[in-house]
C-alpha cells in the first residue's frame, strides 16, 4: 500500500491548480475556437483538412503572420502599438530580393541576417521616436507606416523581384517540410517559444508587463521604461524583418505591395489572442493562436460559401468581441480587488 506524504498532496494540488488555470485561460478559449472552426469546416468539406494540401496549408499559411504578431504583441503589452510592421516587412522583403539579384552568389544565411538587422534598425527608429520623443506610438508608427511604404514604392518603382531570380535553396525554406511540418512553421514556432520563454522567465520580460499595466508607477518604481519600450520596438522591427525574409522564401515574387495591410492582421491576431489593447496583459502564445484562428477563418469561410463581405465582418466582430471581453474582465477584476480591500 502506497502512502502519500504531505509533499505529494501539495504537488498534486499545485498540478491541479496549474491545469485549472490553463483550462480557464484566454489562450485555451482561443485554441478551442480555432479547433472548432477546423472541425466544422472539415465536416462541411473534408478536403479542407484531409486533402494533399489541406494540412500543410493549415500550418504554413499563418507562419509569417505568427512571426510578426509575436513582435506586435510585445509592443502592445507595453501599452504601445506598431502600425508600421507591414511596411517594414515589405521594405525588408524588397531589400533581400534585391540582394539576391545584385549578388547572385550571396549565401542565404547572410541575406537572412541582413534582413533581420535591417528590420531592427527600422524598429529602432520607431522606438527612439516613441521613447525619447514622448510622442504617442500610434502617431509615430502611422507616420512611419507611410514613410517606409513611400520609400519602398520609390525604390521599387514599376519593378519587381521574380521567383526565377531567387536561389532555389533559399526558396526551399518556404516550401520544404521536415517530418511533415513546413519549415516556415518550424521557424515561426522557434521564434514563438523563444520570445514566450523570455517574456515569462526573465526580469526584463516581466518589466514589459509592469510598464504596460501602469507606466507612471513603473517609472516611479525605477524601471527602465524608455529602454524597455525601445527594446519592444526593436524586437518588433527585427521580427518584421524576419517576416520579410520569409515572405521572399515563401512567394518568390516581391513588389511594392508586399506586406500591404499586414499591420492590421498582426494587431488583429494579437487582440483576438487575448493581448489587451490597453497593455499589461496577454501572451505571445495567445497572439500566435490568434494568427492561426484569423487565417483559418479566412480560409474556412469561402469553403462554406460565405461571401467576401461577411469574411471581413466576422474578423471585425472577433476583434470587437476580444476588446469588449478584455474590458469586462478588467472591470470584474477591479470589483473583486475592491471587495477584498
Looking at the DSSP bridge assignments, the partners of residue 177 are: 182
Identify whether the C-beta of residue 63 lies closer than 8 Å to the C-beta of residue 184.
yes
**Cβ-Cβ contacts under 8 Å for 262 (sequence gap 6 or more):** 65, 68, 85, 86, 89, 90, 243
Secondary structure of residue 182 in the 3-state scheme:
strand
**Which run of H or of E encompasses 227?**
helix 225-251
Residue 19: what pLDDT?
Answer: 47
Residue 338: what pLDDT?
Answer: 59
Q: How many CB atoms lie within 10 A of CB 37?
A: 18
191 conformational bin, left if phi > 0, alpha if psi -120 to 50, beta if neither: alpha
Up-side HSE of residue 187: CA atoms within 13 Å toward CB? 24
Residue 183: what pLDDT?
Answer: 93
Identify whether the C-beta of residue 300 lies closer than 8 Å to the C-beta of residue 48.
yes
- Per the listing, cell 494568427 goes with 291
- Residue 212 grid cell: 504596460
Buried-exposed string 130-154: b where 16+ CB fall within 10 A, e elsewhere = bbeeeeebeebbeebbebbbebbee
Identify whether the C-beta of residue 250 lies closer than 8 Å to the C-beta of residue 64.
yes
Q: How many CB atoms lie within 10 A of CB 271?
A: 27
Q: Is residue 230 part of a domain?
A: yes
Q: Is residue 16 part of a domain?
A: no
Compute the Cα dihedral for 101, 102, 107, 109 and give only its sign: negative
Q: Is residue 12 part of a domain?
A: no
Residue 332: what pLDDT?
Answer: 67
Single out the residue of 341, 217, 193 nearest to residue 279, CA to CA: 217
Residue 22: what pLDDT?
Answer: 46
Domain count of the fold of the chain = 1
- Residue 220 grid cell: 516611479
Q: How many CB atoms lie within 10 A of CB 10?
A: 10
Q: Is residue 3 part of a domain?
A: no
Q: Is residue 1 part of a domain?
A: no
Query: What CATH number has the domain bearing residue 320?
Result: 1.10.3470
pTM: 0.87
Domain that holds residue 200: 30-340
Single out the residue of 269, 257, 234, 232 nearest to residue 93, CA to CA: 257
Q: Is residue 109 part of a domain?
A: yes
Residue 232: what pLDDT?
Answer: 95
- Residue 243 grid cell: 517576416
**Which run of H or of E encompasses 178?**
strand 177-178
> Which residue ranges in the chain fall short of pLDDT 50?
17, 19-23
> What's the length of the chain?
341
Up-side HSE of residue 310: CA atoms within 13 Å toward CB? 8
Q: Is residue 292 part of a domain?
A: yes
- Residue 169 grid cell: 535553396
Residue 334: what pLDDT?
Answer: 58
Q: Is residue 102 part of a domain?
A: yes
Amino acid at each position: 500500500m502506497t502512502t502519500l506524504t504531505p509533499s505529494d498532496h501539495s504537488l498534486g494540488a499545485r498540478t491541479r491548480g496549474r491545469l485549472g488555470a490553463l483550462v480557464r485561460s484566454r489562450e485555451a478559449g482561443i485554441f478551442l475556437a480555432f479547433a472548432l472552426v477546423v472541425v466544422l469546416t472539415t465536416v462541411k468539406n473534408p478536403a479542407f483538412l484531409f486533402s494533399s494540401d489541406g494540412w500543410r496549408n493549415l500550418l504554413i499559411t499563418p507562419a509569417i503572420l505568427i512571426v510578426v504578431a509575436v513582435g506586435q504583441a510585445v509592443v502592445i503589452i507595453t501599452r504601445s502599438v506598431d502600425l508600421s510592421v507591414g511596411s517594414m516587412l515589405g521594405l525588408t522583403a524588397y531589400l533581400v530580393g534585391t540582394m539576391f539579384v545584385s549578388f547572385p552568389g550571396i549565401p542565404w544565411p547572410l541575406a537572412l541576417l541582413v534582413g533581420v538587422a535591417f528590420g531592427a534598425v527600422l524598429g529602432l527608429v520607431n522606438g527612439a521616436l516613441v521613447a525619447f520623443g514622448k510622442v504617442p506610438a500610434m502617431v509615430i508608427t502611422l507616420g512611419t507606416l507611410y514613410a517606409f511604404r513611400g520609400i519602398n514604392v520609390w525604390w521599387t518603382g514599376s519593378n519587381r523581384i521574380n521567383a526565377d531570380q531567387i536561389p532555389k535553396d533559399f526558396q526551399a525554406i518556404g516550401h520544404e517540410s521536415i517530418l511533415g511540418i513546413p519549415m516556415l512553421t518550424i521557424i515561426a514556432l522557434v521564434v514563438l517559444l523563444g520570445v514566450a520563454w523570455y517574456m515569462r522567465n526573465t526580469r526584463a520580460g516581466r518589466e514589459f508587463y509592469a510598464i504596460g499595466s501602469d507606466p507612471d508607477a513603473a517609472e516611479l518604481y525605477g524601471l527602465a521604461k524608455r529602454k524597455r519600450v525601445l527594446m519592444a520596438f526593436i524586437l518588433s522591427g527585427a521580427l518584421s524583418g524576419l517576416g520579410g525574409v520569409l515572405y521572399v522564401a515563401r512567394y518568390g515574387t516581391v513588389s511594392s505591395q508586399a506586406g500591404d495591410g499586414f499591420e492590421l492582421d498582426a494587431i488583429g491576431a494579437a487582440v483576438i489572442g487575448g493581448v489587451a489593447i490597453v497593455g499589461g496583459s496577454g501572451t505571445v502564445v495567445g497572439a500566435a493562436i490568434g494568427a492561426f484562428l484569423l487565417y483559418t477563418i479566412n480560409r474556412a469561410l469561402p469553403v462554406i460559401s460565405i461571401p467576401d463581405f461577411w469574411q471581413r465582418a466576422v474578423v471585425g466582430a472577433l476583434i470587437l468581441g476580444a476588446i469588449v471581453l478584455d474590458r469586462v474582465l478588467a472591470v470584474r477584476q477591479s470589483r473583486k480587488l475592491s471587495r477584498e480591500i
